[in-house]
């Protein structure tokens, strides 16, 4: 009756307390059963459209594994209904599309972020701010001293005689020829290779490299392969498109091949952490190509797609896992760790470490690293090397890591021609049409915008002017994003408009032009955006628009000047004047500079808390042996 409930349907306290509680329990159980039934049907439907129903029907064992995965899903959803989990299938995404400054421009997380489902970045911010704690927060620290880990082989490299005979002067000249490679670490540091055969790789991998037309290692590969194959921990800093992925995948496959076969309930032997879904999938695709000839299995673990397939793969057993941090933690803590574990991991890769910090994943990365055996081999790769990444490297790498820098830290590849044009908003679209008329017929073109709304507007306008194009941003669901990337890579359509979600790790052959329709809001973002072209020895062009009249964009001019200078490009006079004018106002206290791009956009300290936090960070840095101002 009306007297028994409020207008929102909750039990009213006008009736007796006992009756109200009984009624509430009865209604709650009915809702739980209805939702669980709906979710079970949904999960079964997802499994069907992913193709597992047809593929897994072959054997009873596989069917049973699929059923167990389905049960795990229902258990997670049931836990969510009871309030003990905030598990969300759709995670692993970049935060608000405007970048680090989007929080102030578009609300707490930015207008774009409000249209997205909860993701890894959102999950990271919620943890930091104390809101919506998920199961990932319950990933307990491991006391490794109480666990007996079997020993494993680290070194698979024997220096070839032709390399050993080189003098130190010859090696120095060779490294200089290899794009100015610089190495730092405890001696002896393995010398760079000249051919694939000198790396000590299995014959099946050498044959695969030959079939793919890879005649000789690229600079980062030539130096990283002997370092990692010899069992040393490694920090690899190289420009985008320089071949970093292959530089760690080849030693990883060789390492995994030497380990004992997986037993029942064993987790992976190698774990690769990456910041975005697209990069995780790209790494997994490349790893499968290398692993297949050796009979090894690879799984991609990320949010936004059916979790049942990922659970099934992990339960069957895979030697290599490429993953985003949030989804991996969720699967590690679900069902008391029965889905997978990290006890067998002896090879850990942290790829695009700067982007992981950029998205606020440092706590998740550290939590996962702490759960891996301390004597593991760890490899960290990135294109930029900010102070936060250096601090992480000091804590997660072993006692004698080797740092490899190819072409300088945070520098645009010299094979990319960079142009920066001062253009107000009204002049940008006509100029974009001019560029497309010149480039779109000869190769692929990638246009970057700062917001989802801008992407959608450009898509409509370009279609109106007769240019077939695609769009890619965080507001699209995972299946749309996968099909968009596949169509762009497969030349179904040669024009893509995207936010910075596509700026990291996306490797597309034949990409000849990158246009920054909106100026990147920090230096590292610029390096990675323009690095989508000029990859693997190819040449490319990058054109960046910046407004002389917009105070928001004016503050990005000094970073553009820095990027041009450090890569040896000429700085236009009007850009230099814009940057100088901004710096003059900045020194006078009239304007504020933008952030470094690595601060995140969630929880903020007050003044006292911020001072205490910075003091603790400085103390931590001193303990790591870093110089602190």
What's the pLDDT tens digit per position in 300-328?
999 877 788 899 999 999 999 999 998 99
Burial track 395-425 (b if 16+ CB lie within 10 A, e otherwise): ebbeeebbbbbbbbbbbbbeebebebebbee
Residue 496 has pLDDT above 90, yes or no: yes
Per-residue confidence (pLDDT) for residue 627, from 0 to 100: 58
| Band (108; pLDDT cuts 50, 70, 90) | very low
Tally of residues, the chain: 629
Per-residue confidence (pLDDT) for residue 64, from 0 to 100: 62
Per-residue confidence (pLDDT) for residue 30, from 0 to 100: 55
Tokens of 251: 């030693």
Residue 460 has pLDDT above 90, yes or no: yes
| Band (99; pLDDT cuts 50, 70, 90) | very low
Delimit the domains of the chain by residue range. Answer: 2-81, 158-406, 416-587
Fold of 158-406: Rossmann fold (3.40.50)
Looking at the DSSP bridge assignments, the partners of residue 321 are 271, 299
Q: Kindly state which CATH superfamily the domain 416-587 is placed in.
A: P-loop containing nucleotide triphosphate hydrolases (3.40.50.300)
% of the chain exceeding 90 in pLDDT: 39
**Which residue, 101, 8, 82, 92, is CA-closest to 356?**
92
- Do 158-406 and 416-587 fold alike per CATH? yes
Per-residue confidence (pLDDT) for residue 48, from 0 to 100: 39
Residue 555 has pLDDT above 80, yes or no: yes
The H-or-E segment that residue 527 falls in is helix 523-530
State the average pLDDT over residues 255-271: 94
């Amino acid at each position: 009756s009306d007297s028994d409930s409020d207008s929102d349907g909750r039990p009213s306290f006008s009736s007796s307390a006992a009756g109200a509680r009984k009624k509430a329990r009865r209604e709650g159980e009915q809702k739980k059963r209805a939702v669980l039934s709906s979710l079970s049907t949904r999960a079964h439907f997802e499994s069907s459209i992913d193709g597992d129903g047809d593929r897994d029907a072959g054997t009873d064992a596989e069917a049973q594994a699929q059923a167990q995965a389905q049960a795990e899903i229902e258990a997670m959803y049931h836990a969510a209904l009871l309030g003990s989990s905030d598990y969300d299938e759709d995670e692993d995404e970049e935060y608000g599309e405007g970048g680090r400054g989007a929080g102030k421009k578009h609300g707490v997380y930015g207008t774009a972020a409000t249209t997205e489902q909860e993701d890894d970045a959102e999950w990271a911010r919620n943890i930091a701010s104390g809101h919506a704690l998920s199961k990932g927060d319950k990933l307990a620290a491991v006391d490794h001293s109480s666990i007996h880990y079997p020993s494993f082989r680290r070194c698979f490299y024997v220096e070839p005689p032709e390399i050993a005979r080189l003098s130190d002067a010859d090696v120095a000249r060779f490294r200089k020829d290899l794009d100015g490679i610089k190495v730092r670490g405890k001696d002896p540091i393995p010398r760079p290779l000249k051919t694939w055969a000198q790396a000590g790789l299995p014959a099946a991998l050498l044959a695969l490299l030959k079939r793919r037309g890879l005649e000789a290692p690229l600079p980062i590969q030539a130096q990283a392969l002997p370092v990692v194959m010899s069992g040393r921990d490694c920090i690899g800093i190289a420009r985008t498109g320089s071949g970093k992925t292959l530089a760690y995948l080849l030693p990883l496959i060789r390492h995994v091949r030497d380990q004992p076969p997986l037993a029942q309930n064993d987790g992976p032997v190698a774990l690769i952490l990456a910041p975005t879904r697209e990069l995780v999938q790209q790494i997994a695709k490349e790893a499968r190509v290398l692993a297949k000839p050796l009979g090894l299995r690879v799984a991609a673990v990320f949010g936004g797609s059916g979790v049942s397939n990922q659970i099934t793969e992990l339960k069957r057993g895979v030697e290599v896992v490429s993953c985003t941090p949030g989804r991996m933690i969720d699967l590690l803590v679900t069902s008391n760790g029965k889905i997978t574990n990290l006890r067998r991991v002896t090879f850990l890769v942290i790829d695009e470490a700067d982007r992981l910090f950029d998205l606020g994943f440092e706590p998740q990365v550290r939590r996962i690293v702490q759960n891996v055996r301390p004597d593991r081999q760890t490899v960290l790769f990135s294109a930029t090397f900010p102070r936060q990444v250096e601090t992480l490297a000091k804590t997660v790498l072993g006692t004698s890591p080797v740092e490899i820098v190819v072409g300088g830290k945070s520098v645009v590849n010299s094979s990319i021609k960079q142009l920066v044009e001062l253009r107000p908003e009204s002049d940008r679209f006509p100029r974009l049409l001019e560029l497309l008329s010149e480039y779109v017929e000869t190769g692929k073109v990638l246009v970057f915008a700062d917001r989802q709304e801008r992407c959608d507007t450009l898509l409509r306008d370009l279609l109106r002017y007769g240019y077939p194009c695609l769009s890619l941003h965080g507001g699209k669901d995972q299946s749309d994003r996968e099909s968009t990337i596949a169509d762009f890579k497969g030349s179904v359509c040669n024009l893509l408009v995207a936010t910075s979600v596509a700026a990291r790790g996306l490797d597309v052959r034949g990409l000849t032009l990158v246009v920054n329709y909106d100026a990147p809001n920090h230096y590292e973002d610029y390096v990675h955006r323009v690095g989508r072209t000029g990859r693997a020895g190819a040449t490319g062009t990058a054109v960046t628009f910046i407004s002389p009249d917009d105070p928001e964009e004016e503050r990005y001019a000094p970073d553009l000047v820095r990027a041009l200078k450090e890569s040896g490009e000429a700085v236009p006079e009007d850009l230099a004047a814009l940057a100088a004018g901004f710096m003059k106002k900045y020194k006078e206290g009239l304007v504020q500079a933008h952030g470094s791009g690595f601060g995140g956009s969630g929880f903020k300290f007050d003044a006292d808390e911020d001072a205490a936090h910075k003091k603790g960070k400085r103390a931590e840095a001193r303990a790591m042996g870093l110089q602190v101002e």
